């Protein structure tokens, strides 16, 4: 599908996402979303793409409330030390609507020894994954491994990927039908995190 190039109003773009099941979190208003980070012009110049990225980010306030729990905007250049992979897993659980719940989360990053790992319990199963250390870049394979858990536990939806440029992307969590509808209404090039998740492609 070709990307839509005509200017589309912010309200029409937001309506499309809401029609696809997106919900703004309590305490988050459309005004705050529309004003983040600058003006409506950015939303109109990059229809759906800019809004999708903003929806995956937190409101610029002390509580850092996410705009929505239907997607997450992530920058791979984020590793400063311990805690980063725990945060990743917590956000993955959040956008999965609790279908994947991780308990006893612990992580470790040692730049000098070039060692990193994440450990947790999921559905009563203890897991520990070794991760790569590459300066401040997170190991992107953690998302593929989580997709594997979604397949293993037969969750109702699977994780999706939208390349927003550079080191950033938007992680989503959709059923096959939801993703088809989202692509149809927005024209965004959103793909399954693992292209072989479903036999038939969107």
Is 5 a member of any domain? no
Domains in the chain, number: 1
Q: Write out pLDDT tens, residues 123-178.
A: 989 999 999 999 999 999 999 999 999 999 999 999 999 999 999 999 999 999 99
Cα gap 101→142, rounded to integer Å:
15
Count CA atoms within 13 Å of residue 178 on its CB side.
Answer: 18
The four Cα atoms 143, 149, 151, 157 give a dihedral, to 10 degrees, of -70
Is 44 a member of any domain? yes
SS3 190: coil
Expressed as residue numbers, the domain containing 110 is 10-192
Predicted model pTM = 0.89
Higher pLDDT, 171 or 194: 171
Higher pLDDT, 149 or 202: 149
**Taking Cα atoms as reference points, which of 186, 188, 190 lies closest to residue 12?**
186
For residue 127, count other CB atoms closer than 10 A to its CB.
14
pLDDT for res 198: 39
pLDDT for res 6: 64
How many residues make up the chain in this entry? 202
Is 199 a member of any domain? no
pLDDT for res 149: 96
Question: Would you state the structure tokens that stand for residue 188, as one six-digit string?
Answer: 């965004």
pLDDT for res 79: 95
Angle 189-193-197 from CA coordinates, rounded to 5°: 110
Is 2 a member of any domain? no
Residue-averaged pLDDT of the chain: 89
In the chain, the percentage of residues whose pLDDT exceeds 70 is 90
Is 175 a member of any domain? yes
For residue 79, count other CB atoms closer than 10 A to its CB.
21
Count CA atoms within 13 Å of residue 44 on its CB side.
Answer: 10
Cα gap 132→115, rounded to integer Å:
7
For residue 78, count other CB atoms closer than 10 A to its CB.
15
Which residues, including other chains, have CB under 8 Å from residue 37's CB and lie 6 or more apart? Answer: 54, 60
**The tokens 């992530």 sit on which residue?**
74
Q: Write out pLDDT tens, residues 1-53.
A: 444 456 899 999 999 999 999 999 998 888 888 776 666 788 888 999 999 99
pLDDT for res 62: 61
Q: Write out pLDDT tens, residues 57-101.
A: 998 766 678 999 999 999 999 999 999 999 999 999 999 999 999
DSSP 72: E
Is 152 a member of any domain? yes
Is 4 a member of any domain? no
pLDDT for res 63: 61
Helices 176-186 and 10-19 cross at an angle (nearest 10°) of: 160
């Amino acid at each position: 599908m070709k990307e839509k190039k005509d200017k589309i109003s912010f309200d029409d773009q937001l309506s499309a996402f809401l029609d696809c099941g997106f919900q703004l979190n309590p305490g988050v208003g459309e005004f705050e979303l529309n004003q983040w980070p600058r003006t409506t012009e950015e939303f109109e110049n990059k229809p759906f793409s800019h809004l999708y990225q903003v929806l995956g980010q937190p409101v610029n306030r002390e509580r850092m409330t996410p705009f929505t729990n239907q997607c997450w905007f992530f920058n791979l250049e984020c590793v400063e030390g311990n805690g980063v992979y725990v945060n990743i897993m917590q956000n993955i659980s959040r956008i999965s609507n609790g279908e994947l719940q991780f308990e006893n989360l612990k992580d470790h990053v040692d730049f000098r020894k070039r060692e990193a790992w994440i450990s947790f319990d999921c559905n009563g199963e203890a897991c520990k994954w070794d991760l790569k250390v590459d300066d401040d870049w997170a190991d992107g394979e953690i998302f593929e491994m989580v997709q594997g858990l979604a397949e293993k536990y037969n969750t109702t939806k699977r994780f999706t990927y939208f390349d927003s440029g550079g080191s950033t992307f938007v992680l989503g969590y959709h059923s096959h039908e939801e993703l088809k509808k989202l692509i149809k209404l927005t024209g965004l090039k959103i793909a399954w995190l693992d292209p072989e998740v479903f036999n038939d492609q969107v």
